[in-house]
Amino acid sequence: MFTILVADSISEEGLLPLSEMENAAIIQKKTTDQEVNLEIIDALLVRSATKVNEKLLNKMPNLKIIARAGVGVDNIEVEAATRRGIVVINAPDGNTISTAEHTFAMMASMMRNIPQAHQTVKNLEWKRNHFLGTELYGKTLGIIGMGRIGTEIAKRSKAFGMTIKVYDPFLTKDRASKLGVESCEIDGVLEEADIITVHTPLTAETKGIINEQALRKTKKGVFFLNCARGGIIDEQALAKYIGIGHVAGAALDVFETEPPGENPLLKFDNVIVTPHLGASTKEAQLNVSIQVAKEVRLFLENNPVSNSINLPAISKDIFDKIRPFHHISKQMGYILSQCINEGIHELTITYSGTVAELETSYLTKATLAGFFKNRIAVNVNEVNALLTAKERGITVGEKISADAYGYANCITITAKGEENSFVIRGSYIENYGPRIVFLNGFNIDFLPEGNLLYIQHMDRPGVIGRVGKILGDHSINIATMQVGRKEAGGEAIMVLTFDNPLEDDIMALLTKLEDIVSINRMTV
């Protein structure tokens, strides 16, 4: 049973994909509500009100996924979630249309002084001559950030007869041509645009991208819009340039601090503002809710998600192809970790055969997740696997090899420690399942599932019999046994599986047997 906490207001219709799950319990309460047991929460759904910080995450040890019903994740400490292996998802396109429409409405209102004129009529005044506007037709619109919303703005602007110049370092010339926009450097936008609107996420690179230095390059009489994220435009610099008459006006839906309080921009009549309404339509609120609810359900049902902030997106078709290899990768990583009982400084995963043609980076993360299981206290999965390895000084490498050792596909993992190294090789065989086919120099063949016992011993007469006798004397049934050796009388191994885990006293007896080098038990 999964427990899902909906901490901010989301309609029942928006939560329908989750409420239809038979194995999910939905709680709609604040995270601060004393009735909520945060320790059992598997999934957390929020809008912008709930602040998901380190302090809150420390209280939610079972949390697996955070879903933001909206685009921005400013209220979520993504890095802290990533360290804990918690997936963070959002709804990047659920409010695309609503934000684009709001931006365009703000643009038209700013250019025609609609809010100011509206207020005078409400005050029983009739000041037609005070509100001489500016047409959109024939103007150059500069768009900084050509994602989903910027693209929708461009489409609407073209219908109004505007020329569009775009700055986006990731926009290809081919796509720009198809959209009918001119791609240029940011200085080109600043110097030539009559109106500039920003549509980038708020990052270290975009914070204050419109600053005093940028404003100096703009035309006198330029207009600015920000319906994206507060902080992209330096508010103090913008206020200065409006005050000296260089910037003709601004339309702002977002602020660096919300509510903005004593913000100097609010003192200007030619600045129109709204209280972060870009996504505030009935349609958008429902769309983003349904989108993240579907994603959370997919995740809880062990399917890939499309809109993760901290996990590479992978389509269902691709995931279905790698699913069997994903499973064996985790199993191999875990077995390897139990077989080399020392610190590791290097892990190399080599793919060969048909698996080499798939999304191997995802499989590498799965291998690391299995390797760190029970080795460290932190929960490790595909989200934080590489970060965890880096923090522990482990170099992780991927290789592609032409040698599949006679199998259709093959995954080989090599671990290098301070004193020793260990190699494990596995394959997924159609209609037969996952198999471990090589353990540190020994050819072998066993199913990596259940309660396993890995014994390294010398190839001497009676060793296997003595192991069997101890198990038989204690009424322990051996489900399967696989053996391997390098040469007669030399090193050898046996891998046994059982219906139940072996008790400590049995392990102690086996360890004392003559010619036993080492014993590892594990449940895979």
State which H helix or E strand residue 435 sits in.
Answer: strand 433-439
Beta strand 478-485 pairing with 491-498: antiparallel
Give 142's strand partners. 165, 196
Which residue's entry shows tokens 């064996």? 328
DSSP 231-300: TSB-HHHHHHHHHTTSEEEEEES--SSSS--S-GGGG-TTEEE-SS-TT-SHHHHHHHHHHHHHHHHHHH
The amino acid present at 513, given as its one-letter code, is L
Q: What's the token pair of residue 492?
A: 């050898």
The amino acid present at 269, given as its one-letter code, is D
C-alpha closest to that of 381 among 2, 38, 5, 65: 65
Instruction: Tell me if residue 20 is catalytic.
Output: no
Instruction: Tell me if residue 258 is catalytic.
Output: yes
The amino acid present at 347, given as its one-letter code, is L
Instruction: Tell me if residue 283 is catalytic.
Output: no
Give 492's strand partners. 457, 485
Distance (Å, rounded) from C-alpha 131 to C-alpha 113?
A: 6
DSSP state of 65: E
DSSP state of 129: G
Long-range contacts of 204-212 (CB under 8 A, 24+ apart): 206/145, 206/232, 207/231, 207/232, 208/232, 208/233, 208/234, 209/144, 209/233, 210/144, 210/234, 210/237, 210/238, 211/237, 212/237, 212/240, 212/241
Count of other CB atoms within 10 angstroms of residue 10: 24
DSSP state of 210: B
Burial track 278-303 (b if 16+ CB lie within 10 A, e otherwise): bbebeebbbbbbbbbbbbbbbbbeee
Catalytic residue among 258, 283, 342, 514: 258
Residues 366/329, Cβ–Cβ less than 8 Å:
yes
Catalytic residue among 83, 229, 375, 457: 229
Q: What's the token pair of residue 351?
A: 């793919």
Dmax (CA) for the chain in angstroms is 108
- First vs last Cα of the chain: how many Å apart? 22
The amino acid present at 9, given as its one-letter code, is S
Distance (Å, rounded) from C-alpha 345 to C-alpha 360?
A: 21
Distance (Å, rounded) from C-alpha 370 to C-alpha 524?
A: 10
Catalytic residue among 83, 276, 297, 326: 276
Give the active site residues. Answer: 229, 258, 276
